Amino acid sequence: MVAKEATGRAKPGRAPAPPGRRGRPRQAEVARLAGVSQATVSLVLSGRDLATGRPISAETRGKVLDAARSLGYVPDPAASRLAAARNNLLGVFSFTATFPTDVRHSYYPFLVGVEQEAAAQGYDLVLFTGSSSGGAGASGAGALNRVRLADGCLFLGRHAPADELRRLVADDFPVVHVGRPDDAEGLAWVGADYVSASREVVTTLAGLGHRRVVLVREDDEAPASTDRERGFLDGLSASGLPAGPDAVFRSGDLRRDLTADRVSAWLAEGVTAFVAEETDTGTAWRALRAAVDAAGLDCPGRVSLALLGSPPADLADEPAPMGFDIPRPTLGAEAVRLLAARVAGEPARGTLVACAFRPGTTAAPPAGP
C-alpha cells in the first residue's frame, strides 16, 4: 500500500505555529472525530456535495456537522483561498496622497460605494496607498506591482503612471480606471457623464428663458474640461441658441481676465446667464462669482449662474449653485461591478454614470430689459 520510504531523509519544512493558529482544530481532526476522511469533511462543510451532485448521506453529514460544532471548527481562510486559487480581494489604488483635504472629499464618498458593492459581490478590499512606501514595494518603479496580490484593482486619480498601468493591462491583470483616461487603449474605465449633465444645465437655463449663455473655463485640454464644453455647446444647439465660439470664454488666468467690466459688457450684449466649469480648485467658479459681485449684479435677480459640477468644499456654506453633482458612491459601485466582471473574464469596456442635476438657487428667469 504505502511505498515510498525510499529516501531515508528526515522531515524538513516544519514551520513554527504562527500566531492565530494555535489550538485551532483542522478538518483532519473533525474527520477523525466523525470517523470519516478529511475530504468528506471538506465536502460536507463547503456544501459542495449538494451543489455538484455528489451526495453524502444524511447520517454522515450529521456526524461531520456535529463533530465540527463540538470542536468549534472554523476554516482557515488562508488555506481556503490558496486551494481555491483566488483570494476574493479587490484592490483600490489611489495615486493622490491621502492627506489633502480636497481629496478626502471625493475619495471617501467614492469609497462608500466601492465598499458596498464589493461586499455585495463577495469581495474584500485591499487599500493601497500611492503615497508613502507602503507594503512590500517601494514607491518608485514597480510600486504598482503590489496590487497584483488582489484579484483585480481599481485606480483613482489622474496621475497614474501610464507605462506601469499599461504593463498590468498587458499582463491581463484586471484593472479599472476611475475617470475617463486620455488614452483608453484596452483599459476599462468608469466616468461621470459630464456631457449629458452639462447639456441638461444649459437646456434648463434655456427653458427658463435665457437666450445667451456664456461658458467660463480654464485653458487646458483635460477630458473633464472638453466634455463639459461639448455638453455646453450641445445644450445650446439643442435649445436653438447660438453656439458660436463667443459662447465660450477661455483663459489661462481667469482671476485676471474675468473682470467686472467684462461681465458688464456681456450683459450689454444680451448675455443673461453664465456657466463655469468645475476644476479641482474651483478657480473658474470663484472668478465668475468675484466678477459678478464686483459688478454689483444680483444673482439670480440680474444674472443666473451655474456650475458644471459641485462647489469646492470651502464654499459649501454659500447658496447652492445650479449645476450637477457627481454621484460618487454610484461611481464607486459601478467601478466595482465592472472590475468584478473583468475578474470573471469579461472584456474591458468603458462606462458612463449619469450625474444628478442640482437646481440650486442661482438661476432664475432672466430679468426684463
Partner DNA sequence: CGGTCGCGTTAATGCGCATTACCTAATGCG
Partner DNA sequence: CGCATTAGGTAATGCGCATTAACGCGACCG
Which residues from 84-123 bind a copy of itself, rule CB under 8 A?
84-89, 98-99, 104, 108, 111-112, 115-116, 118-120, 122-123
Among 32, 65, 71, 75, binds DNA (CB under 7 A): 75
Residue 356 interacts with a copy of itself (CB under 8 A): yes or no: no
Compute the distance between CA of residue 357 and CA of residue 200 in angstroms, rounded to an integer: 8
Grid coordinates representing 184 are: 483608453
> How many CA atoms does the CB half-sphere of 330 hold within 13 Å?
12
Instruction: In the chain, count H helices and then E strands.
Output: 13, 12
As measured in angstroms, the least distance from the Cβ of 150 to a copy of itself is 9
* Least distance from DNA to the Cβ atom of residue 17, Å: 7
Instruction: Tell which one of 32, 56, 149, 280 touches a copy of itself (CB under 8 A).
Output: 149
Q: How many residues bind a copy of itself (CB under 8 A)?
A: 77
Minimum CB distance to a copy of itself smaller for 34 or for 295:
34
In the complex with DNA, which residue's Cβ is closer, 78 or 162?
78
CA distance to 204, 230, 265, per residue, from 236 (Å)? 10, 10, 21
Determine how many CB atoms are found less than 10 A away from the CB of residue 63: 19
Question: What is the closest distance, in whole angstroms, from the C-beta atom of residue 119 to a copy of itself in the complex?
Answer: 3
> What is the nearest approach in angstroms of DNA to the Cβ of residue 70?
15
Among 83, 245, 347, 368, the residue binding a copy of itself under the rule CB under 8 A is 83
Looking at residues 21 to 60 of the shown chain, list those that interact with DNA (rule: CB under 7 A). Answer: 21, 24, 26-28, 35-40, 42-43, 45-46, 48, 54-57, 59-60
Rounded least distance, CB 14 to a copy of itself, Å: 9
Residue range at the interface with a copy of itself (CB under 8 A); choices 147-155, 182-190, 276-284, 353-361 = 147-155
CA distances to 29, 179, 237 from 193, in Å: 56, 10, 18
Using CB under 7 A as the binding rule, whether residue 16 contacts DNA is answered as yes
Sequence-distant (≥ 6) Cβ neighbours of residue 76 within 8 angstroms? 21, 24, 26
What is the C-alpha to C-alpha distance for residues 148 and 61, in angstroms, rounded to an integer? 38
CA-closest candidate to residue 284, choices 315, 318, 321, 252: 252
156 makes contact, choosing from a copy of itself, DNA, none, with CB < 5 to 8 Å by partner type, with none
Give the three cell numbers for residue 202. Answer: 444649459
Q: Are strands 322-325 and 304-308 parallel, antiparallel or unpaired?
A: parallel
Nearest to 206 by CA among 352, 365, 316: 365
Q: Which of 83, 256, 268, 347 binds DNA (CB under 7 A)?
A: 83
* Residues 263-302 contacting DNA, CB under 7 A: none
> With respect to a copy of itself, which residue has the nearer C-beta, 103 or 352?
103
Based on the shown chain and the rule CB under 8 A, indicate whether residue 9 belongs to the binding site for a copy of itself: no
- DSSP E strands in the chain: the ranges are 89-94, 124-129, 152-156, 175-178, 188-192, 213-218, 248-251, 273-277, 304-308, 322-325, 350-353, 356-358
What's the closest the beta carbon of residue 187 comes to a copy of itself, in angstroms? 15
Q: What are residue 192's DSSP bridge partners?
A: 353
* 76 binds DNA, rule: CB under 7 A: yes
Residue 131 C-beta-side C-alpha neighbours within 13 Å: 6
Considering only 21, 48, 158, 255, the residue that binds a copy of itself (CB under 8 A) is: 21
* Residue of 31, 42, 44, 174 that binds a copy of itself (CB under 8 A): 174
Determine contact, residues 235/194, Cβ cutoff 8 Å.
no
Q: Which partner, a copy of itself, DNA, none, binds residue 115 by CB below 5 to 8 Å per kind? A: a copy of itself
Q: 3-class SS at 290?
A: helix
228 binds, among a copy of itself, DNA, none (CB under 5 to 8 A by kind): none
Give the binding site for DNA (CB under 7 A).
1-2, 7, 9-17, 21, 24, 26-28, 35-40, 42-43, 45-46, 48, 54-57, 59-60, 73, 75-76, 79-80, 82-85
